[in-house]
Amino acid sequence: MPGPLEGVRVLEFTEIIAGPVGGMFLADFGADVIKIEPPWGDPWRSTSPGQAGGPNESRGFIAVNRGKRSIRVDLTKPGGKSVVHKLVESADVIVLNHRPDVPAKLGIDYETLSAINPRIIYCEVTAYGRMGPNRELPGYDVIVQAMTGMMTSEGHDVDGLPRSVNVSPVSDMAAGYAIMMSVSAALYYRERTGKGQKIENSLLQNSLRMQQSSLTQLDDYPTPRQAWRAEDLPALKEAGVGFSDIYSAYREKRNNPEFAAYYQPYETSDWVISIGCLSNPLRQKMANALGVDDIRFEPGYDRESPESIKFAENLILTYRKVFLGKTTDEWMTILNDAGVPCGPMRFIEEMVYDEQALANGMIVETTHSIAGNTRGPGPLSNMSESPMEITRGAPAFGEHTNEILQEAGYSAAEVEALKGNEDVF
């Protein structure tokens, strides 16, 4: 597919979400991505929600594997290893996300593949990184969200227990972005130096980066929750206090709700509108537009005073009442005229036909050879000199085995021999 990475060939040994998303982004930017699957296929083909095109063509798989070609290879057999090593000779990038012990067993570890092609860029995603006590453990997004505090910070609870951010597997998606960015940087480095390299990334690393603000600690100026972690949490655990009580104490140690009223959704007379004011000039514009007197804009305002904190909490209730007095469209007109950032609440399913998204190429159509016409998010960027055009849908199970092998120099007879020996499928 056209794009700034046109001519770059990627061999992808990935499954489920994180690795496939990274490969999909590289394909969106123009790379030729070959998904090398085991005989049984990527488990996400059959275990993710929505069997749209048969037992091996799930909606979840189609969503994160757009733009690739698929070949099925048995890496446990010498013939399968030989095929992959031949493909590596002309490849630029390797992407994989197996447990740390798996690549060497399959003959696709960095040491083996870089010996075949020293210019190879080898990008590996693990759950927790190559060092440390958890380095050999398997892991998934829901586990990493729990381990990094994303769940307890989110405040989405069911029956008293934190639940994951489930609109999207945050750590997996972030790892996909990291793959694309890291590989692109490594390609640029190779362009300047001629050297390939190994890239290591992890779900843990990306889950932490997605919580950049909360994780940042100024040692001399701790947040209420950081102080609680250092002073109260160890004592509570030592005393055997249960999780639910500790979690409640943690939730109470929130930051000052100073300007929460200006950054949240409100119900209107007919729907819901969301407001986003992250500066005092914008907050002042909103207060003026709604005819509300906010004492925090007065000279001498003390943000930490009990009066100010109480006012901040009550202000949300005030705005809730005011917003109920008009329709969403009426508020959109009033707030847009006042220069206040706002937007109506929608469901994600509506966005497939959203006028704004369509006007900017944010929704594209592709064709799956079994499931048919597919709509989904467009490329991450629009580029003037190297425009991207997504023309290929997700691959059917082993759809391109013959095509890929013939491109690699295998004759039709040799391809049939490999299939007969079940080295490839």
pLDDT, one tens digit per residue, over 123-167 is 999 999 999 999 999 999 999 999 999 999 987 888 889 999 888
- DSSP codes, 240-287: T--HHHHHHHHHHSPPP-TTGGGSSEEE-SSSEEEE---SHHHHHHHH
Each residue's pLDDT, cut to its tens digit, for the chain (425 residues) gives 789 999 999 999 999 999 999 999 999 999 999 999 999 999 999 876 666 667 899 999 999 999 999 999 999 999 999 999 999 999 999 999 999 999 999 999 999 999 999 999 999 999 999 999 999 999 999 999 999 999 999 878 888 899 998 889 999 999 999 999 999 999 999 999 999 999 999 999 999 999 999 999 999 999 889 999 999 999 999 999 999 999 999 988 865 567 899 999 999 999 999 999 999 999 999 999 999 999 888 888 887 788 887 888 899 999 999 999 999 999 999 999 999 999 999 999 999 999 999 999 999 999 999 999 999 999 999 999 999 999 999 999 999 999 999 999 999 999 999 999 999 99
Q: How far is CA 374 from CA 23, 90, 377, 393, in A?
A: 19, 31, 10, 8
172 as an active site residue: the answer is: yes
Residue 314 is which amino acid?
N
Region of residue 54 (phi > 0: left; psi between -120 and 50: alpha; otherwise: beta): left
> For 195-227, how does the pLDDT look when each residue is reduced to its tens digit (9 = 90+)?
999 999 999 999 999 999 999 999 999 988 999
What gap in Å lies between CA 255 and CA 192, rounded to an integer? 47
- The percent helix, strand, coil of the chain (3-state, each to 5) is 45, 15, 40
What token pair was written down for 88? 């590596």
Distances (CA, A) of 207 to 55, 99, 142, 424: 32, 18, 11, 36
Phi, psi of 37 (to 5 degrees): -110, 150
**CA–CA distance, 260 with 279 (Å, rounded to integer):** 12
- Name the nearest CA neighbour of 393 among 368, 362, 361: 368
Selected catalytic residue, list 42, 109, 172, 294: 172
Catalogue all structural domains in the chain, each as residue range(s) with its CATH number.
9-208+395-420 (3.40.50.10540), 222-252 (no CATH), 260-347 (3.30.1540.10)
Cα atoms found within 13 Å of the Cα of residue 354, Cβ hemisphere only = 18
Cα(277)–Cα(335) distance, integer angstroms: 11
DSSP H or E segment with residue 146: helix 141-147
Coil/strand/helix, residue 124 = strand
End-to-end CA distance of the chain: 25
Percent of the chain's residues with pLDDT above 70: 98
